[in-house]
Structure 1
Amino acid sequence: MPTLPPDRARNSGHDPHQLREVAVSFGSEAERYDRARPRYPDAMVRRIVAGSPGPDVLDVGCGTGIAARQFQAADCAVLGVEPDARMADLARQYGVEVDVATFEAWDPVGRAFDAVVAGQAWHWIDPVAGAAKAAQVLRPAGRLAAFWNAFQLPPEVAEAVSVVCRRVMPDAPFDFQAMPKRALGGYEVLFGRAADGIRELGGFSDPEQWRFDWEWSYTRDAWLDQMPTQGAFTRLPPDKLAAVLEGVGAAVDAMGGSFTMRYTTVVVTAVRTRGPAESD
């Protein structure tokens, strides 16, 4: 499941996990989402696996199974939990076992895991209830790891997105004007909520942040394919979406038809210091 634009989280008056209508809006473009969304650094996957006591992984908000398949490739046994049946169906087609449920309401039926991970998804979950469910299913010394891909558009593309979105979507609850200046700092509210939920629950080590910097080259068509999968655009009427994509596409064309995106993948992680029987 994808990241809610941080400005929505900050300005809407709601925590992201209360915006369920956005959280379940991505399944209408499940195949595009799986095709266009960025993957995660292999170094991140290896570090999470190395820091966990075994290979059994629970992927929370697994979406189409992007992260799950990366953990499978690292010799992990992965179960996904996903609230959108359309996303779950596609994940199953790619070989990921998935239970359809919100994480807070999901019944683990006595199953236990060595790691609970969540890619682009933990902000859709109540941070304390989510930490509590993770604590319930983690084995002793099991690891909770929530991670996000934070991106920084090149200034020319960011400015084009900002201008066209303010024109086409003047009443949208997103601060598009801040986009050209927003980088990793715009996501700090998500990282902070995740860490605070873990600390409030107790029974975990103090949360850490791991950071992985990387780059990816996009053609015009590849970027325009990804944009409709982002939270600001998933419920936009087709005519308005077309106007946004036209304006952004023109800006990328003016740059030569491609650009390099800078990504920072941030992991908020902690180790379970008490087993389920010892929970508060």
Structure 2
Amino acid sequence: MPTLPREQPEPTPAKSHEARRMAESFGADAPRYDQARPGYPEVLIARIVAGSPGSPGSDVLDVGCGTGIAARQFRAAGCAVLGVEPDARMAGFARDRGLPVEVAAFEDWQPAGRTFDAVIAAQSWHWVDPSAGAAKAAQVLRPGGRLAIFGHAYEPPPEVAEPFAAAFRRAAPDSPLSGQPARRPLSLYQAAYEKFADQIRETGQFHDPEQWRFDWEQPYTRGQWLDLLPTTGGLTRLRPDQLAEVLDAVGSAIDALGGRFTMHYTTLATTAVRAAVS
């Protein structure tokens, strides 16, 4: 799904929300996930907070909050954040760091009359049933509240991506994910966010969605990238021997680059404001 790296091959956007076993596999090593996964551009966080009716001090609902990476950034910006997370292991990790989290899939979560200034989904909306997600967000947003769906598009350089793809095919030849290309164009990621916008429009309860884009870079050492890879969806369900084969190949590729490389990130967002209740 085009909100995660090539090292996390996933189902097509139309089917991601049905792949519950993969969706709930990330908690296998929650501490590693929290340490290795990148955060989000501060300018994105600030823009969402400034555009929410409760700012400063907005009430934020974080859909699929995971270990709380985005939630902690919003809390640092002065927001009160409630997480909803289907994986109890991820939720437990976030709670241990002071984030209130309720364990449920967003489609099944019961708001009990609570409403929010912003509903965010950081790297998680593709796991939400598209027939229910935007309407559920509209239900819990106050008039003028903002739905913000965002995530990273990042493709390692060919020198890293191509050895990864070859190793994944060798290690897991029967995986439906092994036939994906080594690198995917940004337009594929953008198309997914345009589809999110269409789903929001279909509710008839939001002003016209906007598309935001933030470009940035982050350097990785060999060790840092090999810490991140096991947290991605294509690898969380591999056997230890399969994972070792993939990591060995990628590690050798990074060694050939001098032991480090620079990742060029694009963080994409689809965001819309809840229309006034008539």
TM tier relative to shorter chain: over 0.9
Mapped partners of 1:18, 1:220: distance in 2: 34
Q: For the Cα contact (< 8 Å) 1:4–1:231, is it kept in 2?
A: no
Aligned partner (choices 142, 147, 150) of residue 147 of structure 1? 150
Aligned residue identity for 2:260: S
Q: For the Cα contact (< 8 Å) 1:206–1:270, is it kept in 2?
A: yes
Aligned residue identity for 1:123: H
The answer to whether 1:133 aligns with 2:129 is: no
| Superposition pairs of residues 76-155 of structure 1, within 5 angstroms | 76-155=79-158
Q: For the Cα contact (< 8 Å) 2:150–2:267, is it kept in 1?
A: yes
Find the counterpart in structure 2 of residue 22 from structure 1.
22
Aligned partner (choices 179, 188, 192) of residue 194 of structure 2? 192
- Output one character per residue of 1:192-236: Cα deviation in whole Å (capped at 9) or x when no partner: 331121111111011111000000010101100100111111101
Q: For the Cα contact (< 8 Å) 1:127–1:198, is it kept in 2?
A: no
Deviation of 1:183 (Å): 3.5
Mapped partners of 2:9, 2:171: distance in 1: 18
Aligned partner (choices 254, 266, 270) of residue 268 of structure 2? 266
Question: Which structure: greater helix fraction?
Answer: 1
Find the counterpart in structure 2 of residue 74 from structure 1.
77
Q: For the Cα contact (< 8 Å) 1:147–1:265, is it kept in 2?
A: yes
Deviation of 1:240 (Å): 0.2
Question: Aligned pair in 2 of structure 1 residues 177, 104: CA closer, same or farther (>3 Å)?
Answer: closer
Give unmatched runs, 5+ long, in structure 2.
none
Mapped partners of 1:195, 1:239: distance in 2: 41
Find the counterpart in structure 2 of residue 42 from structure 1.
42
Question: Aligned pair in 2 of structure 1 residues 17, 191: CA closer, same or farther (>3 Å)?
Answer: same
Q: For the Cα contact (< 8 Å) 2:10–2:233, is it kept in 1?
A: no
Mapped partners of 1:238, 1:186: distance in 2: 31
Find the counterpart in structure 2 of residue 33 from structure 1.
33
Q: For the Cα contact (< 8 Å) 1:150–1:183, is it kept in 2?
A: no
Q: For the Cα contact (< 8 Å) 1:220–1:249, is it kept in 2?
A: yes
Q: Cα RMSD between the aligned structures?
A: 1.7
Aligned residue identity for 2:210: E
Find the counterpart in structure 2 of residue 218 from structure 1.
220
Mapped partners of 1:177, 1:152: distance in 2: 13
Aligned residue identity for 2:124: A
Counting matched residue pairs gives 272
Give unmatched runs, 5+ long, in structure 1.
none
Deviation of 1:7 (Å): 6.2
Question: Aligned pair in 2 of structure 1 residues 7, 219: CA closer, same or farther (>3 Å)?
Answer: closer
Deviation of 1:170 (Å): 1.8
Mapped partners of 2:90, 2:195: distance in 1: 25
Mapped partners of 1:251, 1:260: distance in 2: 14
